[in-house]
Amino acid sequence: MPGLKTKHDDIVRVIECHKVGLKTKEISEQTGILPRTIRRLFAKFKSGGSQDVPTHSKPPGARYKLSNHSVTLLKRQAQANPTLKARKLRENNIEVLGKVTVRTIWNTLNKRLGFKNVSAPKKPSHTESQVLQRDRFYREHIEWSLDEWKRVLFIDESMFSVSAGHPNPVWRSPRMNKFDKNS
């Protein structure tokens, strides 16, 4: 499988077999390591110039500041209450997150978990007069037959406004973002 690291003990066994004078095919049969991996280890051993066993290089980039437990906690809280800001998430979990900055929490939610911080649209609520009108309509037409309802045309109208205001930001999970793209 690509990307698997060879264990240090296996590397030592391969190098010892090589020093004894075994061929690549024989070493592969004894250790169960692929011949191309053995050849790569030989090249690394020879280019090192010393008799030390080659070790794996350090992975690139900085390590994550948050543990998997902390990330799971942030994910659950962002899903349960999407309106929480990163600062509030940090204040609520100071014992778990420690001295992690708000920016690190933001980046973890955004980059590592795939959440997006988007503006939540405000839905207009029904006024009291609209509620009374609907109630009156239902009471007047509760006895209608199916044929009478077939002659009615309902139109779904929505009210919206375009403004430069700053609506409340909410965290949208990757799953929600996927559904937004499809619609």
Instruction: Please indicate whether residue 49 or residue 134 has the higher confidence score (pLDDT).
Output: 134
Residue 182: per-residue pLDDT: 46
CB contact set of 14 (below 8 Å; sequence gap of 6+): 6, 27, 31, 33, 38, 41, 42
134 closest CA partner among 142, 145, 144, 146: 142
- Residue 104 domain flag: yes
Q: Are residues 44 and 75 in the same domain?
A: no
Q: Are residues 114 and 42 in the same domain?
A: no
Please compute the mean of the pLDDT values over residues 160-172 and round it to a whole number. Answer: 68
Per the structure, the complete domain to which residue 35 belongs is given by: 8-48
Q: Are residues 89 and 14 in the same domain?
A: no
Q: Which tens digits make up the pLDDT trace of 16-41?
A: 887 888 888 888 888 888 888 888 88
Residue 15: per-residue pLDDT: 80
Predicted structure pTM score:
0.46
Which of 9-13, 14-18, 176-180 is least confident?
A: 176-180
- Amino acid identity of residue 10, one-letter, is D
- Residue 33 domain flag: yes
**How far is residue 141's CA from residue 148's CA, in Å, rounded to a whole number?**
10
- Residue 85 domain flag: yes
Exposure letters 52-83 (e unless 16+ CB within 10 A, then b): ebbeeeeeeeeeeebeeebbebbbebbeeebe
Q: Are residues 173 and 103 in the same domain?
A: yes
Residue 168: per-residue pLDDT: 74
Q: Are residues 26 and 110 in the same domain?
A: no
Domain tally, the chain: 2
Residue 133: per-residue pLDDT: 92
Q: Which tens digits make up the pLDDT trace of 28-84?
A: 888 888 888 888 887 877 776 656 666 666 667 778 888 888 899 999 998 898 888
- Residue 153 domain flag: no
